[in-house]
Chains A and B, each alone.
Chain A
């Protein structure tokens, strides 16, 4: 398949030709740009708005822009937003309801704006996150129609990672800095003595067609080798890693762990982690009525499992303690997601680590849970009995993802 797809080289100026070609086709081009001290995702009218010459320095609870001498456009790591902002927006109207004078009720599905997006600079972790949300919102018995429409109409241009951040851990989640599926075009940025350029690979017919419209030259072995080398090197430079164990079983067997009390003492239950996470999909609904009282609107908006109202049942929350809410978030991400949607809910993008105001790091929490469970298993082993419900044989083996 890949033989029939084009691989080419795009000059730095070729990037703007790409943006203009997309705009000429009526697409809304969204990509990274610098705003208010961060790399955000916004509509682009020209490739010049990309964060050329900006990098990021991240740590748990810290994010800072830094200047780069090489002028690279895609050398930053994940910012506070992800593509879900566009595909699964924070607020969306579901329906309009009207009550007529004679008491009749009519409900009409809210009209949706038909936007065909082109996402420029999608990280490989975010490509996987989009695939995760596809399974959740458009892969089951019922489809989220708004999501499905925006998603099927969207064109994805990936940017492979050559500068992973200190909070990145996609490799340990079964991913990696290379884009291998789910894109229309994949760019790999190369800056060296031979110039600033992009290796481009088409991943779909739409990608091939688009590439045919912009000036490019055949891929030379040199550029290919440098690009491949940079991505391979990035694989070895992940800032963090999940413990190499079967996370699904680890979390499944840690429901009563003491570590939850420890993390609950630090967690502010602010929900930032869920807002920045590219796979978190939970929503709630709101009813809005106008002054006449005869017209109502039903809105959907993002919700967070850290919110006390989230689990409200018969006058009170089911998950009242911070312990139970943090446990819900992490267990859902790393374990119960498999049962619900057939994969992990974490792609290792590191956003939740970077944007947690108190620097809670899910790789550290998972490692602590592992230490606690391993110690419990050892103890139980010494006492000559297996821990109840712990499937230790399966546990030590790392489950392959995807």
Chain B
């Protein structure tokens, strides 16, 4: 359903960080949305407050997971929900990561902050069909150790051989936060990653500065721009290409994105206030 939200029931609320939760949602009635693919998003409706775009952070048979960071009225209302509560959901919308097109290649997944959310189903998809891809690298950055999403999953991924290289870094670490890992920007992890640039697809999501820096670095290493896939974000009201809010130059991010190739994104991401 794309015009009017379908009722969904919150089955679990998992607190990820001080300001971020993951909601597990199942259809509250007989009607369910069409299937999502990794990278796509839903418009999630908090009754009486409003609607925001949230990418799908895990795709189950019936359950959809959405990771929400509290930054405004709607996201705050969603973060305050308890199991059993109802939300509305419209979707799926937008483009996916298109992992299938990277068959036979090395994969490089780079996430910054909440940017890990839309990338998680991609990593799970790759792990589920592990033999179809070359080396799988996952580089994750967050502001502080307390801002890391999916901490348990990250720990298990770091221990897995199926993931060639899973590295996590934080911008800042304070005494006593128990952090023993990397400190610095996620771009600094690139040198540890194992991939053949001429045969790699990269998947990037995070703050635009991080995406820009990472994409430039990858191009420098010889990745063709169209094989650097990035997920971008803008304000969205309708998700159906009619409200005009998600314009980024000639791109309507709800329709042509959120995932687009760097060949198209580069020019758009280099103009201030576009």
Binding site for B on A (CB under 8 A): 94-95, 97, 99, 103-109, 136-137, 140-142, 144-145, 255-256, 281-285, 287, 289, 293, 296, 298, 300, 303, 305, 310-315, 318-321, 323-324, 328, 331-332, 335-336, 338-340, 389
Contacts and interface: CB of A to CB of B under 8 A. Distances in A.
Given A104-B86, A105-B88, A324-B272, A285 B242 contact: no
B47 A105 contact: yes
Interface string B191-220: 000000000000000000000000000000
Given A287-B49, A313-B235, A107 B243 contact: no
A298 B241 CA distance: 18
Contact of A336 (B72, B243, B249): B249
Contacts of B241: 136, 140-142
Given A107-B88, A140-B255, A315-B72, 7 more contacts: A94-B3, A136-B241, A140-B241, A283-B243, A283-B244, A315-B71, A339-B251
B238 A285 contact: yes
Q: Which of A103, A141, A142, A283 has the most CB of B within 10 A?
A: A142
Top 10 A-B residue pairs of the complex, sorted by shortest distance between their CB atoms = A339-B250, A282-B244, A324-B273, A142-B240, A105-B86, A336-B250, A105-B7, A296-B48, A289-B48, A287-B50
Interface in B82-98: 84-88
B70 to A, nearest CB: 11
A318 B251 CA distance: 15
A331 B273 CA distance: 13
B4 A109 contact: yes
A313 B71 CA distance: 9
B85 A311 contact: no
B128 interface: no
B4 A107 contact: yes
B243 A284 contact: yes
Contact of B242 (A106, A142, A315): A142
A281 B4 contact: no
Contacts of A140: 240-241, 255
B256 to A, nearest CB: 8
B260 interface: no
Contacts of B144: none
B7 A107 contact: yes
B71 A314 contact: yes
B143 interface: no
Given A105-B86, A255-B271, A336-B249, A313 B244 contact: no
A336 B273 contact: no
B252 interface: yes
Interface of B: 2-7, 28, 45, 47-51, 71-72, 84-88, 233-235, 237-238, 240-245, 247, 249-252, 255, 267, 271-274
A332 B247 contact: yes
B88 A97 contact: yes
Contact of B237 (A255, A285, A305, A320): A285
A353 B72 CA distance: 37
Contacts, number: 127
B250 A311 contact: no
Contacts of A319: 273-274
A290 to B, nearest CB: 10
Contacts of A287: 48-50
B242 A324 contact: no
Contact of B47 (A99, A145, A332): A99
Q: Which of A94, A145, A314 has the most CB of B within 10 A?
A: A314
B247 A283 contact: no
17 contacts: A104-B7, A136-B241, A137-B242, A141-B241, A142-B2, A282-B245, A283-B242, A285-B51, A285-B237, A300-B243, A310-B235, A311-B235, A314-B71, A319-B273, A324-B272, A340-B250, A389-B267
A311 B245 contact: yes
Contact of A109 (B3, B84, B234): B3
B271 to A, nearest CB: 5
B3 A145 contact: yes
Contact of A340 (B71, B240, B252): B252
A321 B249 contact: no
B50 A99 contact: no
Nearest to A339: B250
Contacts of B51: 285, 298
A287 B86 CA distance: 17
Given A109-B3, A282-B243, A305-B244, A141 B255 contact: yes
B252 to A, nearest CB: 6
Nearest to B244: A282
B273 A318 contact: yes
A298 B85 CA distance: 20
A318 B234 contact: yes
Contacts of A303: 237, 243-245
B242 A144 contact: yes
Nearest to B245: A310
Nearest to B243: A283
A108 B3 CA distance: 10
Nearest to A283: B243
Nearest to A321: B273
Contacts of B273: 318-321, 323-324
Contact of A283 (B72, B237, B249): B237
A283 B250 contact: no
B244 to A, nearest CB: 3
A296 B245 CA distance: 23
Nearest to B7: A105
A283 B236 CA distance: 10
A103 B271 contact: no
A338 B48 contact: no
Contacts of A141: 240-241, 255
